[in-house]
Structures are given as structure tokens and as C-alpha cells.
Amino acid sequence: MEFVTIFLVWFAVVSVGIMAGIYFAFSVFVMQSLDALERSVGMTAMQSINRIIQKSLFLPLFFLSSLACLLIAVMGVMQWEEPGSWQMVTGGTLYVLGMLIVTIVGNVPLNNALEATKADGPGAEAMWRRYMQRWLPWNHVRTLSCTVSMILLISALIRLS
């Protein structure tokens, strides 16, 4: 069981770190770059990103990292007296809530609304403003959640070794 736990936490550390980096890039420069473009160009680019990301390795990593963190949180509860358990529970739970749930509740509905809007249509300007005002704060939550989760999981890994 110890090997499985260590392997799972290692996988989570790496995958959560990758996710943190992706969200960090969007928070720090990608969205600002798209917003600096002419509106229809920025919207079209984001629509394309949203379509392509669903067909990329991002989606399997998104779900596998979420599953790993959920399992880690459960394993941490089951091994509560063991070293690193509270870090496993907290790091895994933070990732599931702050990344997976925030994405489902916050970012995906906005992505769907953006996809349903023609970039050169009559409601495009209002949609883009609303999208930028709401999507980016949710992404900041994902970035911070992933980063703190990764730190906690590294801490758990150190204690497990």
C-alpha cells in the first residue's frame, strides 16, 4: 500500500504542477494578450483554445489529476495517524474543490457561453467583457488552488519517504 500511496502522490505532484503552470500562464499573460487584441480576434482565439484544449492531452490530465487527488484525500483520511496524512487530505481536497469544481461551476459555463456567441455578432462586445471579468478571477482561484495543493502534496511526499 505504501508504494501505491507514494506513486499516487508523485503522480499528483507532477500533474498538479503542470496544471498550476497552465492556469498561471492564462492568469498572468494569455488572457491579457487576448484582451489586447481587437475584440473579435481575441474572442475567436479563445474560442479556438477552448475547442482545441478539449481534444488535447489537457483533458486526460485534468481528469486523472482530479481522480488522483480525490484518492489521495480519501487515503489520507484512512491513514490519518500516518505522517503526511493531513497534507494529503488538505492538498487533495483543495485541488478537487479549487480546480475541478471551480472549473465545472465557474469556467466551463463561461466557455460555453463564449462558444455560443459569434465573435462578430451583435452581443459579442458585451459577452467578451463579461467573459473577461468573470473567467479570469475563477482562473486565479484555480491557479492558487493548484499551487497550494502542489506544495501540500510535496510536503506529504517528504513525510511519506
Q: What does each of the 161 residues of the chain score in pLDDT, given as a tens digit?
A: 689 999 999 999 999 999 999 999 999 999 999 999 999 999 999 999 999 999 999 999 999 999 999 999 999 999 999 999 999 999 999 999 999 999 999 999 999 999 999 999 999 999 999 999 999 999 999 999 999 999 999 999 999 98
Q: Which amino acid is at 73?
A: A
CA dist list (Å): 82 to 5, 78, 155: 12, 9, 13
pTM: 0.95
Rounded Cα–Cα distance for residues 41 and 77 (Å): 48
At a CB cut-off of 8 Å and minimum separation 6, what does 158 contact?
A: 84
pLDDT at 8: 97
pLDDT at 161: 83
